[in-house]
Structure 1
Amino acid sequence: MKIAIIGGTGVYDPRILDNIREMEIATPYGVVRFKSGEYAGKGVAFIPRHGSSHSIPPHLINYRANIWAMKKLGIKNIIATTAVGSLNLDMKPGDFVLIDQFLDFVKNRTTTFYEGGERGVVHVDVTTPYCPTVRNVLTDAANNLGISIHHHGTYVCTDGPRFETPAEIKMFAKLGGDVVGMTNVPEVVLAREAEMCYATVSMVTNFAAGISPQPLTHHEVLETMQANAENIKQLIMAAIERLDAETDCSCKHALAEYGGFKL
């Protein structure tokens, strides 16, 4: 397997794959359970980020275990999906956004594999945090399917699990944020450290607090995701068909000056 899907809120259906199997991998951070299968003749791993029944809140997701497990499995490309609120009036509920930058507002998560000791310290470059190769594949897939997608967007990541206040949303917008969610950091950073090609497709499920005319609810998020579930599946399937996991990419050399990532 060279390709993985990390499914966010509302994306728990691995039935796009054939020959589905339940698997698990032990990591230094815990055991990761996931599904594997095939599509278009390619092996694909599927991780429901919040668990199969949405039982893991965003601040308790074992991000390091998930990324380590995918690296150990031999995954080269990760397509992640996230549900987000919009700070940008041009990005409306139901829209897809191909994230290219992030603002990190998490406070209580470990965001690196390198905490000193035996593994040492690493300062990974995140000038281009999301893989341009996989992003181009997703763009081509969306265009071919006639799915409208915003090709740029800055993701603001907060700890959750609460929604943000209107004051926070106003601040994030002034700082250049387009959408807000609770899961993309540290996932994107860890994938970068692990030298894997990682891209995120965000689905706007609502306007954020203070922009939305009514209080925010998780039910609203799920409703919008379900209404667009077929589009996100079609987009992912078309991208898998086009992905060549052996294509060289700068992501695969992100730690070259440190001798590369080591399990």
Structure 2
Amino acid sequence: MNTPTPGTLHIVATPIGNLGDFTARAVETLKRVAAICAEDTRHTRPLLQQFGIATPLLALHDHNESKASAALVHRLLAGDSLALVSDAGTPLVSDPGYRLVRMAREAGIRVSPVPGASALVAALSVAGLPSDRFVFEGFLSAKASARRERLQGLVAEPRTLIFYESSHRIRDFLVDARDAFGGTRKAVVARELTKLFETVLDGDLDALLQQVESDANQQKGEFVVLVEGAADDVDAKIAEGQRLYAKLCEYLKPSQAAKLAAELSGAPRKALYGGEAVE
């Protein structure tokens, strides 16, 4: 008995809003695979119906991915080709799927991308911020303390920072970002990209927070927030030193905290001790 040739796992991007962004290759791929693994079948089914795709749907989400992946890999090894989609955009970008991809690759199965829309790349392309190097942070914690701590940890990061945020937390996120990075740090708030009410606001964090607070419409939809990185190496070292100093002061005398923070960050000690402001 011959061993079947394994199928292919296709990672297929879907539109983030505008249906015109669904590529012909993506539609064709989804029509010919044996099944489509979807984050939320209720969300994906109307999209497939719109394009005449009758392929069976299987649920693959955070709660079942670990268990479901083994069965899916078994199907792939038996010869079935499968597709993976998320609710919108490119799968695995702040969405489930990496466990399945890793397990498939470990089993020697071909994993093939079918590229398309991605909210983070779309936002970066229109932001007007440095795009040669960037850091994608996705959704930060819904807990305010954890979110603030993470933002503080990124103060010295020189690369452009990219975050996803929801409508009910966008204002709180901007407040925390302003407090962490300072009101004059440049940023962009991209909302409802490719959709009817798409807006892209730019300015410093103080101005953006004011715009969002003063316009209820700017608090609706799905958001990508981009923040310019630290200005240069000196500023980055000082920002990191100030972050370390504030944390170390919880456990050490100020003079000891400043000395250790300066050693770890490379920032001038005088810029840290006594909370001196640095221009």
Q: Same fold (TM over 0.5)?
A: no
Q: Which has the higher strand share?
A: 1
Q: Which has the higher contact order (CA 8 A, sep 6+)?
A: 1
State the TM-score, normalized to the length of structure 2.
0.31
Q: Which has the higher helix share?
A: 2
State the TM-score, normalized to the length of structure 1.
0.32
